[in-house]
Amino acid sequence: MGADSGPGAPAAVPWRKVLYERQPFPDNYVDRRFLEELRRNIRVRQYRYWAVVRETGLIAQQVSCVAVFHTLWSCMEQGDLVPSTVLWVCLGCALLGYGLYEILGGACVRERTRLADLQSATIFLAFTFGFSPVLKTLTESVSTDTVYAMSAMMLLAHLVSFPYAQPSPPGSLSLNAALFASVCLASRLPGALHTFTMLSCALLVFALWPCLLHRMREKAEWSFPWAAVLVCLAGVGGLGSLWPEGALLLSLALLTLTLLCPLLLVHLQRHKDNIHGPWDEAEIREDLSRFLN
Amino acid sequence: MVLKIFFPQCCNTADSGLLVGHWIPGHNSAVVLAVIHYPFIPGQVKKYLSELQSQTQVDLTVLGSWSMPKEGKEGMDSFLKDLSTIFPQKCWLQLSREIGKRGFICQGDKIILIHYDQRKVMLSQLHPVQDVSQKSDIEPSELRLVFQTVAQSQPLFFLDKYDDGPLKLTHWQSEGREASIIAELLKQASVPVCIFLTWLLSLWHWFLLFISSKLSTCVQSGYRAVHFKTVFSPKKAATHMEFMRKANIFVSFLLDIALGLLLISWLYRENRISKLADTLVPVADRVAKELQELLEWLMGAPAGLKMNRALDQVLGRFFLYHIHLWSSYIHLMSPFIERILWYVGLSACLGLTFALSVLSDIVALLTFHIYCFYVYGARLYCLKIYGLSSLWRLFRGKKWNVLRQRVDSCSYDLDQLFIGTLLFTILLFLLPTTALYYLVFTLLRLVVVLFQGVIHLSVDFINSFHLFAIGLRICRPYRLAEGVKFKVLCQEPGTPLHLMMEINPLKCSSVLQCYRTPTYSCYPKDSWAALCKKLFVGELIYPWKQKTDKTD
């Protein structure tokens, strides 16, 4: 360690840690302040268990959203739900959500006018309604297995690429993947109206709900866990009505995600060993000839 | 230093006189072009030589004296010596012959006499051809200078023994110039005729450019018009290459017409035209029916592939309607087909190339519906491919940066994302249907293009084959010279060495290589890789697009 014994260091000029000046010391000389600026784990935060559990709620509720969507689709495919009813419910939910959004964001400056919002809504509805006959016939020639596999892949991609840190403008890839999956599934339904309904539901669940949730978290912090729990229960319940084992699996997965993973995270924090600081040159003083044979 | 004298064979038995010729600069040699006989006035000789010098750009001088003794005429020697003072020279030659001896006698330096046939060397062209006006760094060789000198001194050979001038010369044409009245009359008349024909042709040329250049008949006739402008230009061919080109255009045109007339005589015998017309309409009908069956097969489940039913039906019905229009058009035209074919067949008298071009155009017109289908299919497919690639970028949240020509990330609005994803899904699932239609029509179009290509290649071959050069090589081999060979004529002691110079003709393969006419080469302008890429993306291909001939 080139800390103290510099080769005949003249004590007249003190050594400075700069590279642009010619000093009477060799280039790799460091004085006793070797590794003084080394810091360990300065950015390691101490997580508290319940705070982490709260945050995990977001991931859990997203998974449950997918489960809710799947439930809706299965019910419509089997004919348990009438499309027009679902459509009216969706419309009601949308208006409710919009109202809640406006109430919660009262003090904020609006970045879009109400007219722009209305325009967007009209475009959605017109486009989807106009294209739903075409969309219905899209996967006619594709086999069922392929359609299911494609949808599953796409929903997985949606979950993986979801911007959990900043969900308010929904990420491109996640939203597109979810919409692609919903179009694939919707084209398997018996009628054009079914397709239209399915797409409207997809839009509500995947595009508009995360924005509302984010607004709720910002403005009314206390409501977020209740909303997440509600969604999870809805997901498990819906899946349970179709496939009880699936509901069991889903609840197990959610519990693991919500309770076990944060425990793991907190527990493993103690093994963190990050070093920070500037570099110092080291001089090897050991006899390394024993490695040569 | 040994002096080389190139001596024309025709002057071997000429009377005594002055040797007129040209000293080759840089080499120790001289070319004798003619002999001026006694009596002469030195002043007039000098005047004549300076006149000729301005006409021919060759530095003509009096080289020396030539003495051919005859019975009864002696005592020229002293006269000859005095001449060297009248015509001052750095080197004065004195050649003489004696009766009974073959070799010449020369006073002065050691010389080698090379005899050459003046007419042949004057008409010959040494290969590889170097343009006189071209400034090249290579010094022309001695042989090349000799050939150039003799060829350029043609005005010297116009004075023959029947002219009443003050000077009497001996050269290859001194016995009298060969000419015929008909040739002279034609030469006189040709200039105004050429001017008139050039004007007509330029008018025709402009008219042709106006009409679309898609018809290969028009292209071919435009090409011929350009050729004729070259041939009928009143300016005489300045260089050898221009002359060869003119001559070849003329000869190959004559051959073309001869072949065309042969074709006509075969076609119009035994009522073949009407037989052809009778088979044409059923063939067109058959093609339409085959296409219809093909489309119906595509509208079902072709080769087990599952198509999108709605799009399939739409496209299939659209194309079927076109075929229906086409067959009704053919049926409308069927009574007039025979008459049209009769008159069109007469156009073969303009040449075999014309007949082939007309055939190619008829095939193009008969398969016009295939071309239309191909264009529709290709445009649809191309649109789809571009849409898909752009929407795929939107799917990933990226955008094409036109300024930087690269893909950048972009944050889209919610509505853009929604509509983009919908469209992407639609385009993706409709891709197999469109791709199949595109594939089928592209294959059909390629078959037609292949057939047209074969016809164009044969037309190209007829156009570019240099018949005149080959004929010249066979009949008059000395016109196209590659070099010379020397033969020893007479080697007696006491006399200078006599050599005979003979011309080596050019090899046939070099003739073909040197005189290939650049044509509107219809070789495919895309390489295979570029063609495959264009087919994959859906761009329209025109593999036999003809470039206009702008060279030479």
Domain that holds residue B199: 178-257
pLDDT at B388 over 80: yes
Q: Which residues of B touch A175 (CB under 8 A)?
A: 414, 417-418, 421
Partner-chain residue, chosen from B306, B310, B397, that has the shortest CB–CB distance to A172:
B397
Q: Which residues of A touch B412 (CB under 8 A)?
A: 172
Partner-chain residue, chosen from B306, B424, B425, that has the shortest CB–CB distance to A141:
B306
Give yes or no for A93 touching B (CB within 8 A). no
Greater confidence (B142 vs B109) lies with: B142
Q: Which residues of A touch B419 (CB under 8 A)?
A: 123, 127
> By percentage, how much of chain B surpasses pLDDT 70?
91
Question: Rounded to whole angstroms, how far apart are CA atoms A98 and A88?
Answer: 15
Give yes or no for A212 touching B (CB within 8 A). no
- How does pLDDT run across A63-110, given as a tens digit for each residue? 999 999 999 999 999 988 889 999 999 999 999 999 999 888 877 777
Q: Which one, of B367, B431, B381, B373, lies nearest residue B539 by Cα?
A: B381
Question: Rounded to whole angstroms, how far apart are CA atoms A9 and A5?
Answer: 8
Residues B44 and B151 in one domain: yes
> By percentage, how much of chain A surpasses pLDDT 70?
96
Residues B216 and B147 in one domain: no
Q: Is residue B549 part of a domain?
A: no
Instruction: Indicate the range of A206-210, B78-82, B540-544 predicted with least confidence.
Output: B78-82
Does the complex come out with an ipTM higher than 0.85? no
Residues B104 and B239 in one domain: no
Q: B399 near B408, Cβ under 8 Å? A: yes
Q: Is B39 helix (H, G, I), strand (E, B) or coil?
A: coil
State the pLDDT at residue B75.
57
Partner-chain residue, chosen from B307, B411, B424, that has the shortest CB–CB distance to A141:
B307
Give yes or no for A161 touching B (CB within 8 A). no
Residue that is written with structure tokens 């024309």 in the block: B8
The token pair at A29 is: 């000389």
- How does pLDDT run across A130-142, given as a tens digit for each residue? 998 888 888 888 8
pLDDT at A38 over 80: yes
Q: B373 near B384, Cβ under 8 Å? A: no
State the pLDDT at residue A2.
43
pLDDT at A251 over 60: yes
**What b/e readout covers B141-166, taking b as 16+ CB neighbours within 10 angstroms?**
eebebbbbbbbbbeebbebbeeeeee
Give the total number of structural domains in chain B.
3
Q: Is residue B530 part of a domain?
A: no
Q: Is B481 helix (H, G, I), strand (E, B) or coil?
A: strand
Instruction: Indicate the range of A116-125, B66-75, B450-459 predicted with least confidence.
Output: B66-75
Residues B328 and B434 in one domain: yes
Average pLDDT over residues B244-251: 83
pLDDT at A293 over 80: no
Greater confidence (A6 vs B46) lies with: B46
State the pLDDT at residue B136.
60
Residues B201 and B171 in one domain: no
Q: Is residue B540 part of a domain?
A: no
Q: Is residue B326 part of a domain?
A: yes
Residues B251 and B167 in one domain: no
Q: Is residue B169 part of a domain?
A: yes
Average pLDDT over residues B313-329: 89
Q: Which helix (H) or strand (E) holds B55?
A: helix B42-56
State the pLDDT at residue B11.
83
Give yes or no for A226 touching B (CB within 8 A). no
Average pLDDT over residues B376-383: 93
Residues B193 and B117 in one domain: no
Q: Which amino acid is at A11?
A: A
Partner-chain residue, chosen from A124, A137, A139, that has the shortest CB–CB distance to B418:
A124
pLDDT at B252 over 60: yes
Asked whether the beta carbons of residue B430 and residue A138 sit closer than 8 angstroms, the reply is yes
State the pLDDT at residue B74.
58
Residue B186, number of CB atoms within 10 A of its CB = 11
Asked whether the beta carbons of residue A176 and residue B395 sit closer than 8 angstroms, the reply is yes
Average pLDDT over all residues of chain B: 82
Give yes or no for A203 touching B (CB within 8 A). yes
Q: Is residue B262 part of a domain?
A: no
State the pLDDT at residue B552.
33
Asked whether the beta carbons of residue A171 and residue B415 sit closer than 8 angstroms, the reply is no
Q: Which amino acid is at B509?
A: S
Greater confidence (B267 vs B400) lies with: B400
pLDDT at A1 over 50: no
Residues B164 and B197 in one domain: no
Mutate to test the interface with A, among B306, B421, B424 (most CBs of A within 10 A): B421
pLDDT at B551 over 50: no
Taking CA atoms, A278 is separated from A29, A36, A37, B358, in Å, by: 15, 10, 7, 84
Looking at CA atoms only, how far is residue B427 from chain A in angstroms?
9
Strands B29-37 and B3-8: parallel
Q: Which of B465, B499, B530 is the last residue of a domain?
A: B465
State the pLDDT at residue B349.
81
> By percentage, how much of chain B surpasses pLDDT 90?
10
Mutate to test the interface with A, among B299, B306, B399, B418 (most CBs of A within 10 A): B418
- The B-side interface with A (CB below 8 A) comprises 306-310, 394-397, 411-412, 414-415, 417-422, 424-426, 429-430
State the pLDDT at residue B39.
78
Q: Which residue of B has its CA nearest to A157?
A: B396
Asked whether the beta carbons of residue A140 and residue B309 sit closer than 8 angstroms, the reply is yes
Asked whether the beta carbons of residue B306 and residue A139 sit closer than 8 angstroms, the reply is no
Partner-chain residue, chosen from A128, A138, A171, that has the shortest CB–CB distance to B429:
A138
Residues B288 and B142 in one domain: no
Q: Which amino acid is at B255?
A: L
Q: Is residue B518 part of a domain?
A: no
Residues B445 and B483 in one domain: no
pLDDT at A5 over 60: no
Residues B26 and B102 in one domain: yes
Residues B335 and B460 in one domain: yes
Looking at CA atoms only, how far is residue B330 from chain A in angstroms?
38
Looking at CA atoms only, how far is residue B362 from chain A in angstroms?
42
State the pLDDT at residue A4.
47
Q: Is residue B542 part of a domain?
A: no
Give yes or no for A140 touching B (CB within 8 A). yes
